[in-house]
Structure 1
Amino acid sequence: MSLHPTTTTLHLTSIPPGTFIGIDLTSFTSTPAFQGVKLIPSGLHLLYYSTTTDSSLRNGFWFYAHPGRVISKTWDPEAEIATLVDAPPSAGLEERLYAENLTPYKQRDAEGRVMVGGGGQEWRALSGCVRERTLERCLGEGWVCGTAGVSGMDYDAGEEVMMGFPPGGGGGVDVMWTRVDLKVTWPAGTIGRERTEMAKDRSWALNNLLHGLASENQDDAERELLGELQLSFIMSITLGSYSAMEQYRRLLGLCLTSRACVFHERRKLFEGLLETLLAQLHYVDGDFWAGFVDGGDGDDNWLAKLLRRFGGGIKEAVNEQQQADPDKDSIVRLFRDMESLTRRKFDWVLDHKDVVRRGLVQTEDGDMIELELPGLDEEDETGEYAPVIVEEVVGEGEGGGGTMAGG
Structure 2
Amino acid sequence: MASSSSSNMDPDVAWSLFEEGATLVLLGVPQGTELGIDCKSWQVGPRFRGVKMIPPGLHFLHYCSVNSPSCGGEIGPKTGLFLTLKPREILLANWDPKEEDLDFSASRNEEEVNRIRGTLRELDPFLGPYPYEVMRKWVSLTDHISEKLASDLQPLTGRICAFSDVVPELQFRHTKDRAEQPRNDTACQSMKEGLDRLPKMKHREGTELRFSVIPKKTYPPGATPAEITKCSMDLSYALEGVLEKKYENQPLNLLGELQFAFVCFLIGNVYEGFEHWKSLLALLCRSEEAMRRRKELYLGLITVLYHQLGEVPPDFFVDIVSQNNFLTSTLQDFFQFATGPGVDGILQKKAEKFKTHLTKKFRWDFDADLDDCAPVVVELPEGVTVD
* TM-score normalised to structure 2 length: 0.75
Alpha-carbon displacement from aligned partner over 1:134-183 (angstroms, at most 9, x marks no partner): 1222114554212124799xxxxx999665346xx5454521111013x4
Select the residue among 264, 270, 285 that pairs with 2:298: 270
Residue-pair matches, total: 323
Partner of residue 196, structure 1: 229
Residue 180 of structure 1 aligns to which amino acid in structure 2?
I
Alignment partner, residue 127 of structure 1: 142
Q: Distance in 1 between matches of 2:332 and 2:194?
A: 33
Partner of 1:210: 243
Which of residues 73, 87, 92 in structure 2 aligns to 1:72? Answer: 92
Deviations 1:42-61 (A, max 9, x none): 11100001024984620011
| 68 and 142 in structure 1: CA distance in 2 versus 1, 3 angstrom threshold | farther
User: Would you say the 8 A contact 1:275–1:334 is kept in 2?
Assistant: no
1:176 matched to 2:192: no
2:48 is paired with a residue whose SS is coil
Query: Partner residue of 1:401?
Result: none
Cα deviation 1:95-149 (Å, max 9, x = unaligned): 33222111100133xxxxx6xxxxx121111101111221222114554212124
Tell me by how many angstroms 1:294 deviates: 6.7
1:3-402 matched pairs, under 5 angstroms? 4-52=18-66, 55=75, 57-87=77-107, 88=112, 89-91=114-116, 94-108=119-133, 120-141=135-156, 143-149=158-164, 164-165=199-200, 169-172=202-205, 173-181=207-215, 183-214=216-247, 218=249, 220=250, 222-264=251-293, 266-290=294-318, 297=323, 300-315=324-339, 317-318=340-341, 321=342, 329-350=345-366, 352=367, 355=368, 372-374=372-374
SS at match of 1:286: coil
- CA deviation digits over 1:200-244, x for unaligned, max 9? 000011111111113xx53x1x12211110000001100111111
- Structure 1: 5+ residue runs without aligned partners? 109-113, 115-119, 153-157, 359-371, 377-407
Q: What TM-score do the two structures reach when normalised by structure 1?
A: 0.72
* Gap change, CA 1:73 and 1:337, over 3 Å in 2: farther
Tell me if structure 2 keeps the 8 A contact 1:13–1:35: yes
Query: Once the two structures are aligned, what percentage of the paired residues are identical?
Result: 24
Deviations 1:5-56 (A, max 9, x none): 4110001111111111111111111111011110011111000010249846
User: In 2, distance between residues paired with 1:69 and 1:223?
Assistant: 29
Aligned residue identity for 1:201: D
8 Å Cα contact 2:59/2:82 also seen in 1: yes
SS at match of 1:245: helix
Gapped runs of 5+ residues in structure 2?
A: 1-16, 67-72, 168-192, 377-387
- Judge conservation of contact 2:22–2:87 (CA < 8 Å) in 1: yes
Is the alpha carbon distance of 1:138 and 1:357 closer, same or farther for their aligned partners in structure 2, counting shifts above 3 Å?
closer
RMSD: 3.0
